[in-house]
A and B are shown apart, each in its own frame.
Chain A
Amino acid sequence: GAGVSQTPSNKVTEKGKYVELRCDPISGHTALYWYRQSLGQGPEFLIYFQGTGAADDSGLPNDRFFAVRPEGSVSTLKIQRTERGDSAVYLCASSLTGTSTGELFFGEGSRLTVL
């Protein structure tokens, strides 16, 4: 597609359940980022992939969060044993050149609500 695609757009789950959020970046973009945005706040960095490898996962809040990008294109953010505090909009972005020289292209986000 022309832009970054994220699915689902909305996910409601119960506390303790497992959730997967998917990101399909712009074709040819080797850099992929996950951010989390809480209400009234700016996006907070979670993890950055260059190709298939997670080059920087310093923003993942704890070991319940994990992300993969097995073929260097689509990425999945996985959240185990969800907690109410995980409720937020999860944003994916991709870039051709990286943040040191270029912009990020964001998807519309996946809104996660944990009841």
Chain B
Amino acid sequence: SQQGEEDPQALSIQEGENATMNCSYKTSINNLQWYRQNSGRGLVHLILIRSNEREKHSGRLRVTLDTSKKSSSLLITASRAADTASYFCATAGGGGSEKLVFGKGTKLTVNP
């Protein structure tokens, strides 16, 4: 079963706009990770945020984590056509478990 639930399921924006994707999860976590997947390709890690962190930045990416609401958001600023992909959040439960549990993903389309 999948723990993370992203919304929206699909998002279409114009180049230069910001894109925000949200993720909710159900159980306690050690960390939360965001991955990107181009159509028909493997997943690429974007950013990891630990359970004791609230916000993290990497280039044009900003991730927030609210453990009280069991939710996270991924913001991509000044989007480009090359950002078109599916984005997945994944939770690591810790406690000796190595299982990374993925959500269903948000399909982002950035129109030039």
A10 to B101, CA, bound (A): 25
Q: Which of B4, B41, B45, B101 contacts A104 (CB 8 A)?
A: B45
A40 to B39, CA, bound (A): 11
Tell yes or no: B62 within 8 A of A by CB: no
Tell yes or no: B76 within 8 A of A by CB: no
Q: Which of A44, A100, A106, A109 contacts B98 (CB 8 A)?
A: A100
- B107 (CB) vs chain A CBs: closest residue: A40
B29 to chain A, nearest CB (A): 10
Tell yes or no: A91 within 8 A of B by CB: yes
A107 to B92, CA, bound (A): 20
Which residues of the partner chain A approach B12 to less than 8 Å between Cβ atoms? none
Number of interface residues of B (CB under 8 A): 25
Tell yes or no: B8 within 8 A of A by CB: no
Which residues of the partner chain A approach B45 to less than 8 Å between Cβ atoms? 103-105
Q: Per-residue 0/1 for A43-73: is the Cβ within 8 Å of any B Cβ (1 yes, 0 no)?
A: 1110010100001101100000000000000
Number of interface residues of A (CB under 8 A): 30
Most buried by A among B31, B33, B99: B99
- B100 (CB) vs chain A CBs: closest residue: A99
A103 to B100, CA, bound (A): 10
Assuming the contacts A108-B41, A108-B42, A109-B42, asked whether A103 and B33 have C-beta atoms less than 8 A apart, the reply is yes
Which residues of the partner chain A approach B104 to less than 8 Å between Cβ atoms? 40-42
List 12 interface pairs A-B (beta carbons < 8 Å), by A numbering.
Answer: A4-B42, A33-B100, A42-B88, A43-B88, A45-B101, A48-B99, A59-B99, A91-B42, A98-B98, A99-B100, A103-B45, A108-B41
Lowest 10 CB-CB distances: which A-B pairs, in order? A42-B102, A103-B45, A106-B42, A99-B92, A106-B43, A108-B42, A48-B98, A99-B100, A43-B102, A45-B99
Chain A residues at the B interface, C-beta cutoff of 8 Å: 4, 31, 33, 35, 40-45, 48, 50, 55-56, 58-59, 91, 93, 98-109
